[in-house]
A and B are shown apart, each in its own frame.
Chain A
Amino acid sequence: MISIENLVVSYKKDIYVIDVLNLEMQKGKIHGIVGLNGAGKTTLLRVIAGLKNPIRGTVKAFGETKFRKKIAFLETENFFYSYITGREYLSLFKNNDFNNDDWNTLFALPLDESIETYSSGMKKKLALLAVIRQNKPILILDEPFNGLDIESCGVLRMLLIQLKEKKTIIVTSHIIQTLTNLCDQIHYLEKGKISFSSESQEFDELEQNIFKTIENRHQTLINALSEKLQ
């Protein structure tokens, strides 16, 4: 279980990206984090992954504050070292039980080619294989579906559902439907706080609420601006 208490994160003085955030995420569930651009999703994930220090508050996993070794983290943008092959990249992550070729049948990547020849979707799949290869109890996946083709999205969804009994999985997305089809719990991040959390049976209501809020906020302006177009 991951437990976050009174978390405050800032990049600039007096501007808080995360502002007194409390959250508990149980093992055996897929947790979705949704929010507008700049809401603090990536920052929250980086703090959980131990890559950004908070000003205040604590993040604990399995009761410990030092748990970097238990995390596999997929970043939004996936960068690789030039002139190495997919197979060489995967071999950096130690796991003798993970057969690259067996797992690669799911994604059909040209593992012996230099990563520079990969498309952005292929790079995402390679980064996902690396995350799975690490076989850590906590998976943090920032926008894992971005750039994936429809089949790979399906494969990833099935895979995460299969893995959730053994792991704590956190996924972010800009697209709410991606999360409602996958997650057991969705947390809505707004202005640095979790404004509400929903269980799977409440997802329809959550979607409606989100769209209603957006409508209320922007419909009048959209109407006014559209009128000026031919």
Chain B
Amino acid sequence: MIKSFLQIRLIQTKRIADQLGLPRAMLLIGLLVLAGFFLFYFAKDSAKATYVTIFFLGALLVLHLNRPDRFFLQTHFDRYKELFFAEYLVFGLPFAAAFLFYEHFLHTAVLIAGIIAILPLKLKLQQNTLNTALQRLLPDHCFEWKSGVRRSFFLIIPAWILGLSFSFLVGSIPVTMVFIGIIVTTFYERSEPLQMLLAFETKPELFLKQKAGNHLLVFMVLMLPLFLAFLVFHASLWYIPGIIFVVLTSILLYAIFTKYAFYIPNSKSGAAGFFQALGAAALFLPVLIPLLWLLTIRFYFKSIKQLNPYLHDFD
């Protein structure tokens, strides 16, 4: 069962690669090689390997709680948790290999234990009915945030509180900022239905300007307490959260424009998914940041073109 399941995943991956086209697929392979290089570079040092483990398990947790095929797998396979485990093990393999290469046996054990601990977690039911004061505080037009915060409430809020509580540790705030930043980029994975786009009744240029401005503002409000807490304990290192904030806002803008550059009502474009993954990768591979800035400019103009058929005759 697990073998056929992984084969299906392989076929799906191949289809996505076909959709991307050769140049983008080559770029993806190049990025994966680069990511592998950085992984081995970071895994060398035990402390850095700990951060890598935390990032991997955090990202896996986000993925696990938001996987859309859970209901299908639960209803069609009795041993669906084994399928999850096999899949996550494949994701974790490069990390485990890097840790084993440098003889970090404890990290490898934590990685596998973390994967096993994530398997039974399921928060969807609570999320569906979740209506906290935080959701009501978010502006009406920031529906990606309303939806995203509801979907990832049990990740964002505990991470934010823990980050603040341990802000006396130098790594706490930067890790929290990056962790929340990764989650926020997932808010823009799916294109909204047409009626929601038309509800704004504005031209593409103004629509994008308003969207980018409003969303950056919400993101700043979320990040500001973290930034201030860092300054209280480590004022001389102010540039660390400062640089992370600049990088995260760049990625946020990039995610917004990528979504609309490939906008098809109510869908999730393969190309958009690829470029958004590239944005998330830039958090770990800073060399990609300049590329992201260039792509942000390109996708801004592409977004205008893509939205024009829907919004062209609004004043």
Interface residues of A (CB under 8 A from B): 50-51, 53, 66-69, 73, 75, 78-85, 88-89, 91-94, 112-114, 116-117, 127, 130, 134
Contacts and interface: CB of A to CB of B under 8 A. Distances in A.
28 contacts: A51-B194, A51-B309, A53-B309, A66-B313, A67-B313, A68-B314, A69-B313, A69-B314, A79-B265, A81-B143, A81-B193, A81-B196, A82-B151, A82-B190, A83-B128, A84-B147, A88-B135, A88-B140, A88-B146, A92-B143, A92-B196, A93-B199, A94-B199, A113-B128, A114-B128, A114-B150, A117-B129, A130-B195
Contact of A82 (B147, B198, B309): B147
Contacts of A85: 131
B141 interface: yes
B150 to A, nearest CB: 4
Contacts of B128: 83, 113-114, 116-117
B127 interface: yes
B110 to A, nearest CB: 31
Nearest to A117: B128
Given A66-B313, A75-B195, 4 more contacts: A79-B265, A81-B147, A89-B196, A127-B195
B231 to A, nearest CB: 34
Q: Counting chain B CB atoms within 10 Å of each CB, which of A50, A88, A127 scores highest?
A: A88
Most buried by B among A80, A113, A130: A80
Chief secondary structure at chain A's binding surface: loop
A125 to B, nearest CB: 14
A73 B195 contact: yes
Nearest to B131: A112
A83 B193 contact: no
A67 B315 CA distance: 10
Nearest to A66: B313
Contact of B192 (A68, A81, A127): A81
Contacts of B201: 69
Interface in B110-140: 127-129, 131, 135, 140
A68 B265 contact: no
Contacts of B313: 50, 66-69
Interface in B123-173: 127-129, 131, 135, 140-141, 143-144, 146-148, 150-151
B218 to A, nearest CB: 15
A88 B170 CA distance: 39
Most chain-B CB neighbours within 10 Å: which of A73, A83, A94?
A83
B305 to A, nearest CB: 15
A79 B193 contact: yes
Contacts of B265: 79
Contacts of B150: 83-84, 114
B200 to A, nearest CB: 8
B310 interface: yes
Contacts of A92: 140-141, 143, 196, 199-200
Contacts of B127: 83, 114
B74 interface: no
Nearest to B193: A79
Contacts of A83: 127-128, 146-148, 150-151
B130 to A, nearest CB: 8
Interface string B181-220: 0000000001011111011110000000000000000000
B129 A113 contact: yes
A88 B195 contact: no
Interface in B53-89: none
A134 B195 CA distance: 11
Nearest to B140: A91
B193 A80 contact: yes
B266 to A, nearest CB: 4
A21 to B, nearest CB: 21
Contacts of A53: 309
A76 B148 CA distance: 27
Contacts of B148: 83
Given A79-B266, A84-B150, A113-B129, A51 B196 contact: no
Contacts of A80: 193, 196
A117 B196 CA distance: 19
A100 B199 CA distance: 16
Most interface-central of B131, B147, B192 (chain A CB within 10 A): B147
Nearest to A64: B313
Contacts of B140: 88, 91-92
